Structure 1
Amino acid sequence: MKKKGITMLMAAALMVTLAGCGNSNNGGNTETNNAGTAGNATTTTENATTDNKPAEPEKKEDVTIKVFQFKVEIADALQKLAEAYEAETGVKVEIETHGGGEDYSALLKAELAAGEEPEIFNSSGWAGFDPYVDRATDLSGESWAKDLVEASKAQISRDGKLLGMPMNLEAYGFTYNKDLFAKAGITALPQTIDELEAAVKKLQDAGITPFALTSEWWSMGIHTMNISLANHDDPAAFIEDVKAGKATFKDDPIMKDWLRLVDIMFANGQKNALTTDYNTQVAEFAAGKYAIIQHGNWIQGMVDEVNPEMNLGMMPVPLKAQPYAFTGVPNNWIVNNKSAHPEEAKKFLEWMVTSETGQKFIATDFKFIPAVSTITPDTAAIGKIGGDFATFSQEHPEQVKGWNWDRFPDGITQQWGSAMQEYLGKQITGDQLLEKFDKAVADIVKR
């Protein structure tokens, strides 16, 4: 993202998160039982009975819409939301979740290739959205579109049209166990790679394994890789140069520093990292086995299931002159115009972000920092990770960078993740890793 865009994103996220944020009228709703937009109020009036009491919504018992979605962290809560929607409208919402260790993108493409057309599916933005543009319904005219955090729109817009609903805002860096840091005598967060190395040694000397690692391709091929991309002065320009063959990862000085960071992480994680999946990684971190995990506020709900009192914070990742944390839109809800019920799908999304029930699920059950400004965040639900990040972002907005991996065509990050697995397993050298990064870009851009 450009600096202006990310500043806008962070300003909005912070105002929403910390202020509780400034929406004292609950998104323009003056009554607790009348949540939603003016459009919803009009519908209620039109359906009113003669004694001015609102009528029950018309139920459609024969309609089923399918949601093919990525976010494993909200799978249970999303199912409950679907059940609440069916109880209110009669429309059945079938949830199918594929994430964690699964390759969601490949599974979605297989689903579509097989002729299955879910009403709603998830897609990232920028180039990651390109394969699905022809299926995306224009949502520009939806009532909630005007209330989106401004900087969340560009990644899912084409030719002035909003082609998806941004799911939420997320941030990541190094989430760390404050109690374990204190036990190791670490009194200040590391600001440089040298200081990180020194902090890691203190943890090791105290008998604490510093890093909770995972072999998941997406964690390494997306989030770890973005640390290097975001540290460029102009990430978008650097990425375009790499795609055009004008620059390479192998010859990039920032990638050399990034390799040192990766080496520190890989050399100071658990012994079975190569066989550790995402769920196990987070669960063991939540159990206090490790001091640092490279994830963001999205793990808060999973941590709370294990240890709701865990004393967590998020620290920026040191690489260059100053450390950075990273924020963006993780995914979008896309309404599939080739499905059987796209209009019903739009109504479901409308209800999700405007009804009192839907807003409560987003803010509290999903533990989201909303991308829709009319939803008041639940600061208690967002938790310590997001709260710590919000405080840092407010005090150091210049140390917050964006998400850049989706500026590359689909398939590249998967190959990066595979190469990272080889590097974690000590099957290739650092130079070979960077060569594989370059080859992945060259192979896919040529297609």
Structure 2
Amino acid sequence: MTRTSSLRTVIGAGAAFAMIASLAGCGGGADAGKTQLTFFANNTQDLYQPIIDAFEKANPDVKVKFSTTNGSQAGYQQTLQTRISGGQLADVFVAPPEQLNDLVRNNCVKDLTGEAFMDRIGDTNKAQSTVDGKVYSMSVTAWTNAYAYNKDLLAKAGYDAIPETWDEFIDMLKDLKDAGVDKPYLEPKAGLGALVEGWIGYDSSQQDTSVDQMIGDGDATFADLYTPYYEEWARLFDEGVMGSEVTGLADDQVRSEFAAGRLAVMPSGYWDVNTFNDAGINYAFGRMPMLHEGDTPFAPGSADSGYAINAKIDGDELKAAEAFLDFLSSEEGLGLIQSSLGLIPATKNYTPEIDESFTEPYDLYLATGNVYLNTLGWPASGRSALRAETFSQLQQVALGSISPQQAAANLDTKLKTLS
């Protein structure tokens, strides 16, 4: 997945998580006497502020104290680990699915199974937030990758959309270079191999056990199953349509190149709609090409990370936390989540209006459920570290220091260290 806004951080499983209850704040002035609700999330305060303001208006006895990581999504899971280990877990926080098993095992998250607001949540989102039959986070949105493309740059090479197959896509990138487009395609360093997951998702849908579940169960290896996909992806470098400079490009740098009109195609998602609309470029989101003609379109994607409540809080703080999750899953809250965070609600009580630019991937992937996240097939402990390792290995492939086969084999070595 590359979910280029998010979804791409590292955490190791903590051995013992120190916990303390969050403190109720009694600030001065207008906030005196209010219950302080601490909230830690993986996006910036300016994006969450409209949601917080609306919640505080509806709950005037609660004051939300927001915090995030430096650089928004970057390093969120590691920072969450550090806060837990230091006894500074917020009352409400975003709980990445890769981390949920560890959070449950260390008694960090409250069981939400019987909460009334959970009746609004769809089965797919609940399933991702479930450990041993109980639901521990409230996931209200879903995501899929897609290719954002600059219509004007594609037109220079005679194209008006992303081709359906990988071979055709490679040919299009060559044509773009020949037409004078200096940057036909870029992937960020923490999202290399963006469409490989879609290929794996389709192949997994054609068999009883997913590719990654076979690896996770020990019935196959990364070297066995991932090597052909990585070899196909490496054609981007072999064919000269993407260079090794991607190993030094962060998400924001790739996004900025696209928003400035200099980049023709990039892996992206609905979270970038507002940014690209504000940039005023002539763009749209399209499919992620499949390996073979006739393959059903799949893309990296899943239910989004859910909102969790600190298992150690009680009293007014717990009531405020439950009220906050109730608001987030309400029609008003979901509308603000979509408009401000650029995420797509996926609940029983809300039908999102999709920006016209995102119609094709929404219909291809989210409306059909044809999304796939490789980590869900891996052993629960260490999923984040292993996913980060996939990007690290592909950086080495991009630099030409190892082969695609070696990259896949190195993932097997990493997996052994996590078991």
TM range (shorter): 0.7 to 0.9
Taking the aligned partners of 1:224 and 1:326, their CA distance within structure 2 comes to: 7
Structure 1 gaps, min length 5: 1-58
The answer for the alignment partner of 1:427 in structure 2 is 401
Tell me by how many angstroms 1:337 deviates: 0.9
Q: Which amino acid aligns with 1:407?
A: G
Structure 2 counterpart of 1:229, which letter?
A: I
* Cα distance in 1, alignment partners of residues 407 and 341 from structure 2: 36
Q: CA deviation at 1:346?
A: 1.3
Q: Is the 8 A contact 2:195 2:300 kept in 1?
A: no
Counterpart residue identity of residue 288, structure 2: P
- Quote the offset at 1:278 in angstroms: 1.0
How much has 1:354 moved relative to structure 2? 2.0
Q: Letter of the aligned partner of 1:119 in structure 2?
A: D
> Is 1:277 aligned with 2:250?
yes
For residue 152 of structure 1, the aligned residue among 125, 143, 152 is 125
Name which of 286, 289, 294 aligns with 2:259: 286
3-state SS of 2:184 partner: strand
Where does residue 368 of structure 1 map in the other structure?
A: 343
Matched ranges for 1:110-259 at <5 A: 110-125=82-97, 127-133=98-104, 134-187=107-160, 189-208=162-181, 209-216=183-190, 219-220=191-192, 223-224=194-195, 226-233=197-204, 234=207, 237-252=210-225, 255-259=227-231
CA contact (8 A) 1:122 1:332 kept: yes
State the shift of 1:355 in Å. Answer: 6.1
SS in 2 for 1:288: coil
Task: Give the Cα–Cα distance (whole angstroms) in 2 for the partners of residues 300 and 436 of structure 1.
Answer: 36
Question: TM-score, normalised to structure 1's length?
Answer: 0.75
Check whether the contact 1:101–1:277 (CA below 8 A) recurs between aligned residues: no
What is the alpha-carbon distance in structure 2 between the residues aligned to residue 141 and residue 423 of structure 1? Answer: 47
Corresponding position of 1:299 = 272
- 1:377 CA drift (Å): 1.9
Determine if contact 2:167/2:291 at 8 Å carries over to the other structure.
no
Which amino acid is the alignment partner of residue 291 of structure 1?
A: A
Residues in 1 aligned to 2:275 and 2:63: alpha-carbon distance in whole angstroms: 27
Deviation of 1:113 after TM superposition, in Å, equals 0.3
Which amino acid in the other structure matches residue 352 of structure 1?
L
SS at match of 1:169: strand
1:146 to partner: Cα distance: 1.6
- The residue aligned with 2:353 is 378
1:351 to 327, 330, 334: 327
Q: Which runs of 5+ in 2 are unaligned?
A: 1-30
Q: Does structure 1 residue 402 correspond to structure 2 residue 372?
A: yes
Aligned to 2:7: none
Q: 2:49 aligns with which of 65, 79, 82?
A: 79
8 Å CA contact retained: 2:234, 2:404: no
The answer to whether the Cα contact below 8 Å between 1:77 and 1:361 also exists between their aligned partners in 2 is no
CA RMSD of aligned residues (A): 2.8
Cα separation, 1, equivalents of 2:304 and 2:38:
21
Change (3 A) 1:201 1:404: same
Amino acid at match of 2:406: Q
Deviation at residue 271 of structure 1 after TM alignment: 6.4
- 1:315 and 2:287 are equivalent in the alignment: yes
Give the C-alpha shift of residue 224 in structure 1.
4.9
Structure-1 residue corresponding to 2:62: 91
Contact 1:283 1:302 in 2 (8 A): no
Query: d(CA) in 2 for partners of 1:247 and 1:104?
Result: 31
In 2, the alpha carbon distance for the partners of 1:225 and 1:151 equals 22
Structure 1 residue 419, shift from structure 2 partner = 1.8
Moved more, 427-436 or 313-322: 313-322
Query: Which residue of 222, 227, 232 maps to 1:260?
Result: 232
Deviating above 6 A after TM superposition, structure 1's stretches of 4 or more consecutive aligned residues are none
Contact between 1:212 and 1:285, CA under 8 Å: does it hold in 2? no
Question: Structure 2 length normalisation: TM-score?
Answer: 0.80
Q: Secondary structure at the match of 2:64?
A: strand
- Aligned to 2:265, the other structure's residue is in SS state strand
SS in 1 for 2:65: strand
- Single out whichever of 137-146 and 161-170 deviates more from structure 2: 137-146
SS in 1 for 2:268: coil
1:404 is displaced (CA, Å) by 2.7
Q: Secondary structure at the match of 1:95?
A: strand
Q: CA offset at residue 352 of structure 1?
A: 2.4
8 Å Cα contact 1:229-1:235 kept in structure 2? no
Which has the larger displacement, 100-109 or 284-293? 100-109
The SS at the match of 2:141 is: coil
Q: Does 345-354 or 425-434 show the bigger shift?
A: 425-434
Q: 1:206 to 1:230 in 2, by over 3 A?
A: same
Is the counterpart of residue 389 in structure 1 residue 364 in structure 2? Answer: no
